[in-house]
Amino acid sequence: MRDDVDPKLLQRAATMRRAPTEPERRLWWALRHSLKLEGAHFRRQVVIGRAIVDFACTSTRTIVELDGEQHGFDGALAHDAQRTKKLEAAGWRVLRFWNGQVARELDQVLETIRAAVEGRL
């Protein structure tokens, strides 16, 4: 275990990996089986700083976040924007998708992720 990572965050991330939401499960399957990217390997529920992100590719410094309807309220939107700013300031590219996009537009979500990982975004 790394000394600079909060053990409570690591435990929370492990718990979240064991109980993914349906959109997380669906995107995880697609990232592992449908989206073939040379040298890009995504991990799920990754601790980065003080945040747990849904999916991260460390080689391309790309984060994918899935947001449910609870993220649509003013307080959550502001929190997410602040968190995204911090992650971007640390050199990460953050992609955010609504859960419904994964359900209805998975191909477009995957193409956006592919473009980001390949540096076309």
pLDDT at 6 over 80: yes
Contact 66, 27 (CB under 8 A): yes
pTM of the model: 0.87
For the segment 56-65, what is each residue's pLDDT rounded down to a tens digit? 999 999 999 9
What does the pLDDT look like over 54-102, one tens digit per residue? Answer: 999 999 999 999 987 654 545 677 888 899 999 999 999 999 999 999 9
Nearest residue to 48 via CA among 95, 99, 91, 112 = 91
Q: What angle do CA 84, 89, 93 make, to 5 degrees?
A: 60
Domain boundaries, the chain: 7-117
Superfamily covering domain 7-117? VSR Endonuclease (3.40.960.10)
Q: What is the pLDDT of residue 74?
A: 58
Q: What is the mean pLDDT of the chain?
A: 88
Closest CA to 95 of 38, 45, 57: 57
d(CA 30, CA 22): 12
Nearest-angstrom CA–CA distance, 19 and 81: 25
Residues 6+ apart with CB under 8 A from 42: 28, 31, 32, 55, 56, 57, 64
